[in-house]
């Protein structure tokens, strides 16, 4: 079963969202298999059907595509920040780059919608391929999206704000301790 997100590292979050997004077809087939298995308890079948329905919604597909791209980048920066030989200057450059990335992503909402639509189409194909149908009532609102461009912008603004706080902290550390680091790299004439 798909588990709730816990407080964990960026890499685990990035891996989970990436797997969900890139292997959605396989996950949906598993849900269909469980939902149609008459040997299983009805509650288990209904839970699988409910989870399957959630994975074919426009919002789910849109949020997966957005978070997949963002978390991959956060994970790459986080991994780099953990390198033992990373300088404070390099850390500031990495965080500045991440901040610029977040700002650039704000222009990509239409692209994310296109990617989400492709994911939804593949989901619909999976249902047809497996001859699995939902009633018309059950399918209501699966193609509507509550995750608007305004939600998207608010999400990116929150990420940007929190990132700026982190960047500011690194800048302060660099200002305070940077002279010590630079001192290590000076030769006798420069000292």
**Could you give the CA distance from residue 159 to residue 149 in angstroms, rounded to a whole number?**
15
pLDDT in tens, 84-94: 888 888 889 99
Tokens (6 digits) for 129: 């391929």
Q: Is-contact 170 95, C-beta < 8 A?
A: yes
Spans of all domains in the chain:
10-184
**Average pLDDT of the chain?**
86
Task: Say which residue the tokens 């709730």 belong to.
Answer: 4
What is the rounded radius of gyration, in angstroms, for the C-alpha atoms of the chain?
Answer: 22
Question: Tens of pLDDT along 21-79?
Answer: 999 999 999 999 999 999 999 999 999 999 999 999 889 999 999 999 999 999 999 99
- How far apart, in Å, are the Cα atoms of 140 and each of 53, 73, 145? 11, 34, 12
pLDDT given at position 176:
83
């Amino acid at each position: 079963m798909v588990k709730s997100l816990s407080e964990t590292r960026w890499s685990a979050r990035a891996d989970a969202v990436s797997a969900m997004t890139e292997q959605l077809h396989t996950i949906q087939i598993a849900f269909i298999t469980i939902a149609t298995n008459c040997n299983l308890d009805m509650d288990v079948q209904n839970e699988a059907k409910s989870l399957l329905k959630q994975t074919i919604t426009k919002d789910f597909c849109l949020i997966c595509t957005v978070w997949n791209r963002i978390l991959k980048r956060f994970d790459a920066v986080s991994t780099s920040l953990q390198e033992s030989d990373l300088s404070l200057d390099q850390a500031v450059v990495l965080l500045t780059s991440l901040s610029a990335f977040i700002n650039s992503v704000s222009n990509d909402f239409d692209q994310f919608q296109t990617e989400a639509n492709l994911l939804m189409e593949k989901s619909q194909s999976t249902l047809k391929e497996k001859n699995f149908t939902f009633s018309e009532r059950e399918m209501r609102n699966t193609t509507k999206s509550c995750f608007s461009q305004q939600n998207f912008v608010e999400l990116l603004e929150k990420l940007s704000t929190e990132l700026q706080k982190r960047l500011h902290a690194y800048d302060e550390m660099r200002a305070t301790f940077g002279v010590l680091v630079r001192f290590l790299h000076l030769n006798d004439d420069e000292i």
